[in-house]
């Protein structure tokens, strides 16, 4: 099975792949390059979302999409919190190419205020939180409406996370090896293997 690479101009999105930088909750890069891929089913829904957002003068900024299984082990080793991260033993929808983390940007490329940043592991990140400014609540509901109308499911604890419905029943967990050009360095993959060996 081939994943679809999500790149402009084929997909009119901005890419800001957080785990390819140190600007993520682990404080260091997890990916050696900022790849963005989705299962073909998810890529089709992303195209729908782009089309729905366009008349509103809005675009999508993607923080993460396909996350190799090895990367999920790295994240879990740092923060084994099932309220915000899928236990890699169950498999993350990200590792199936069936999930995307994203936000909305305006015509000038500015992120809409969502009340918290990406990967803020706090109750303030929950859908429906009324503890954030009203404008941010509005923006979250706008994102939720666009994604839902395009056919996505959502994860209640993370305003930025959307996925295909029932992914664990339909899709396989994939490793970095499925990519023609790896996203992860051998060193990080080795660290992931060591973590996996401790948990299994």
H or E element in which residue 99 lies: strand 99-105
CA distance 93 to 179: 17
Residues 25 and 100: their CA atoms lie apart, in Å, by 17
pLDDT of residue 172: 97
pLDDT of residue 1: 62
Q: What is the pTM of this model?
A: 0.96
Residue 158 annotated among the catalytic residues of the structure:
yes
Q: How far apart are CA 83 and CA 175, in angstroms?
A: 23
Q: At what angle do helices 40-53 and 134-150 cross, to 10 degrees?
A: 130
Domains, the chain, ordered by start? 4-199 (3.30.1380.10)
Instruction: State the catalytic residue, choosing from 5, 70, 111, 158.
Output: 158
3-state secondary structure 102-171: EEEECCCCCECCCCCCCCCCCHHHCCCCCCCCHHHHHHHHHHHHHHHHHCCEECCCCCCEEECCCHHHHC
Q: Write down the pLDDT at residue 71.
A: 97
Output the pLDDT for position 156: 97
| pLDDT score for 100 | 98
- Residue 151's pLDDT is 98
pLDDT at 7: 98
Q: pLDDT per residue over 2-23, tens digit each?
A: 999 999 999 999 999 999 999 9
Residues of the chain with pLDDT under 50: none
């Amino acid at each position: 099975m081939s994943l679809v690479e999500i790149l402009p101009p084929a997909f009119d999105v901005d890419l800001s792949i957080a785990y390819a930088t140190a600007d993520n909750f682990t404080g260091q890069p997890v990916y050696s390059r900022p790849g963005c891929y989705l299962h073909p089913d998810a890529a089709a829904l992303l195209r729908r979302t782009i089309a729905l957002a366009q008349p509103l003068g809005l675009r999508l900024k993607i923080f993460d999409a396909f996350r190799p299984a090895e990367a999920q082990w790295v994240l879990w080793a740092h923060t084994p919190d099932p309220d915000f991260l899928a236990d890699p033993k169950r498999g993350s929808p990200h590792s199936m190419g069936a999930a995307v983390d994203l936000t909305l940007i305006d015509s000038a490329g500015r992120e809409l205020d969502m009340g918290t940043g990406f990967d803020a592991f706090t109750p303030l990140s929950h859908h429906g939180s009324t503890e954030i400014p009203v404008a941010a609540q509005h923006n979250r509901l706008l994102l939720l409406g666009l994604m839902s109308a395009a056919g996505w499911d959502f994860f209640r604890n993370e305003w930025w996370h959307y996925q295909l419905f029932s992914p664990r029943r339909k899709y396989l967990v994939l490793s970095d090896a499925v990519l023609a050009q790896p996203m992860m360095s051998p060193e990080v993959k080795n660290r992931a293997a060591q973590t996996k060996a401790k948990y299994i």
